Structure 1
């Protein structure tokens, strides 16, 4: 490779320069402090693991498996995976490393790596921050997690105009099971729902068992009252379907009560990560942004891969996306060279006030610190900070 190209980075990977890094790090610290105030304990997970550990989700989520870089461990000869998501790692901790009786709450922040960008104009190395709750199958746990997600977005200063989407895989899954559909038909239906292709859906469901119910599920996916009115009594009486339907209505009512000005949308056929999630799904969107600010859902039984199946719900977000477009100007004070006691005391006092102080080196002058905003000068025997 020519020397002129050695500084280039792979597609989807970028440096974070000082101005933006300061914003991101402040956001990371504040977010983790906020999660700690809600009782979520911080954990660190390794960047690389045996692929068997990371496959607790990839077995049911092919998208995650395809997103995971795989390499050979030169020490053991075994296959390793670079984490593409931290949820399976936290599930391993809950199930095997740090088993807790009752409810356990964890939070985390760290870089993950994807083989390909997971969305338009996104990085392959997101800085993922998230929270996970293990040990409760109550709808109250889902409500807590949705409320926590929205509160975190508010703490990040992005609450204006946000929109919450709610869905539940149980509606579609229970209807598929009741109709006895094969996997190929299930996949075709899922594709039609994802594309919102109502004319195609009408044709496709004509000859299916409970075809009118499958069509109603897509036609009235965003209106629970209309959906209920157009479903057959047989489907509405199904225990699994009713449980999922009630969970969406309860969550919507609970979150609306806590956030009366929040716009909440319903889409019961939003089936992203369908084979991964087991219940309620949720995502927060902001105006003029195609990708969600944060998203999550219920994924019961995740710890089974590690010998301890537990109900679980959680969400995650990319701190790079949360901080996008924001700039935080910092005051930088330049102090002259010297080791006089009064000068050193003035430098220390200025730093104690929360300001950044750089002392000049050798023959340097102010021009050697082009981003300086202030300087420390001696006026009549007293050191003062003056704007440059």
Structure 2
């Protein structure tokens, strides 16, 4: 086994792709700045109890652990940056009003999501803290849509969910509430027969609970059709009614041109999210491109509960599905320390041109550039000529 081989589900990013990712990162951070978001950069490793505060068991399984040689405490390599951003808002910034934070950094997962996924991602995202209303949810969804539009993504589809519907059904039945993990996995897979078979696996679970869970698994599609059927068919308990009302209020605020759907069974992050969640899909990507939603009070683990909503995506995954980037043009220059030559090279570079000096006895072999001009000396004056 060669020492140049990487572990499974990890890959290098080569020059052309790296440039595309970096240019896209700059565009998106500049976009977030126009919305008033401030950028923060937390460390890639921190104490495990901080990384996993109030995030549920899924993140725990995805987080790699190691022992800190200085303190002897367990550290975690972050698999998600959102808990870190919550910590910064709650403990370090500690502001009273609304705070908008954005970020971009590498995260590492102990296991890939599937055979084609990378364990290392370049996560970029934005979070709003301090506002409990639908206005913050709308702004986050609008910014996530603008993120994909800025990247040049076409055929965007927005899918909404509210875990409060499923949570209310489960919490109304004690037998169901002590078997949450099993029930959530069946709902996410839309396994109606598996849900029907819970009567044999969970003692004393009520029949009306089973009927509601099976119905939820089929409640996906056109927004108003789903909402109407849910209101008619699900129990009229406050948690369900309130969740459906929140979805309907948000739908009325979204742009009419957005292709929109609802999937009440899409309860990813069930133990983490407290309100409306959403996923963005697009032509050219095989699964979710952007995910986000409301996660109020996660900051309580850091001493301060705050309303919160946000989104994130893998920048490498986004860039991989975009059209190939155009190679930038570059200028070839001879090697030399002549002051006139160095002066024109500096001037060209200050104007944004790529100027590559040919080192003695070699020729540039970069794949990233198109060499279409060169510096030549004519009548003791350096000038740019076409190649």
TM-superposed deviation, 1:338: 2.5
Q: Which residue does 1:344 correspond to in 2?
A: 342
Q: Specify whether residues 33 and 226 from structure 1 end up closer, same or farther in structure 2 by C-alpha distance, changes over 3 A only.
A: closer
1:192 equivalent in alignment to 2:186: yes
The structural deviation recorded for 1:157 is 1.1
**Contact in 2 for aligned 1:168/1:248 (Cα 8 Å):** yes
| 1:27-46 equivalences in 2 (<5 Å) | 27-46=24-43
Match of residue 138, structure 1, among 130, 133, 147 = 133
Query: Within 1, Cα distance between the matches of 2:118 and 2:234?
Result: 46
1:169 aligns with 2:174: no
1:185-214 deviation per Cα after TM superposition (whole angstroms, max 9, x unaligned): 544432332222334545658952354433
* Gap change, CA 1:202 and 1:50, over 3 Å in 2: closer
Secondary structure in 2 aligned to 1:349?
A: helix
Tell me what 1:109 maps to: 104
- 72-81 or 9-18, which moves further after superposition? 9-18
Quick one: structure 1 residues 156 and 133, their matched pair in 2 at CA, closer, same or farther if it must change by over 3 Å?
Answer: same
Question: Structure 1 regions of 5+ residues with no counterpart?
Answer: none
The 8 Å contact of residues 170 and 209 in structure 2, kept in 1 or not, is answered as no
C-alpha distance in 2, partners of 1:193/1:138?
28
Q: C-alpha separation between the residues in 2 aligned to 1:264 and 1:230?
A: 17
CA distance, structure 2, for counterparts of residue 130 and residue 267 of structure 1: 23
2:283 to 263, 284, 287: 287
User: Partner of 2:270 in structure 1?
Assistant: 274
CA distance in 2, matches of 1:298, 1:175: 20
Cα deviation, residue 309, structure 1: 1.0
CA deviation profile, 1:73-123 (whole Å, cap 9, x unmatched): 111111111111111111111111111102111000011111111244121
Distance 1:233 1:217, change over 3 A: closer
Change (3 A) 1:132 1:119: farther
TM-score with structure 1 length normalisation?
Answer: 0.89
**Any idea what the Cα deviations from partners look like across 1:191-248, whole Å, max 9, x if unmatched?**
3322223345456589523544333322333354355346568833x22211110111
| SS of aligned partner of 1:289 | coil
CA gap of 1:49–1:222, structure 2 versus 1, over 3 A, is same
Which residue of structure 2 lines up, in the alignment, with residue 243 of structure 1?
242
- Measure, in 2, the Cα distance between the counterparts of 1:19 and 1:112: 22
Match of 1:54 among 27, 51, 55: 51
Q: How many residues align?
A: 377
Q: Which residue of 2 aligns with 1:219?
A: 218
Q: Are 1:217 and 1:227, in contact at CA under 8 Å, matched by a contact in 2?
A: no
Give unmatched runs, 5+ long, in structure 2: 200-204
**Secondary structure of the residue that 2:280 maps to in structure 1?**
strand
1:8 to 5, 8, 14: 5
Q: Please list the CA deviations of residues 49-83 of structure 1 after superposition, one character each: whole Å capped at 9, or x if unmatched.
A: 1111112144xx21110111100111111111111
Root-mean-square deviation (CA, aligned residues, Å) is: 2.4
The answer to whether the 8 A contact 1:332-1:358 is kept is: yes
> Using a 3 Å threshold, how does the CA distance of structure 1 residues 52 and 382 change in structure 2: closer, same or farther?
same
> Taking structure 1 as reference, are residues 267 and 261 closer, same or farther at Cα in structure 2, changes over 3 Å only?
same
Aligned residues of 1:23 and 1:328 also touching (Cα < 8 A): no
* Contact persistence 2:99–2:128 (CA under 8 A): yes
After TM superposition, the structure 1 stretch with the greater mean CA deviation from structure 2, 79-88 or 286-295, is 286-295
Following TM superposition, by how much is the alpha carbon of 1:277 offset from its aligned partner in structure 2, in angstroms? 1.1
SS for the counterpart of 2:257 is coil
- How far off is 1:283 after superposition? 1.0
Q: CA deviation at 1:261?
A: 2.5
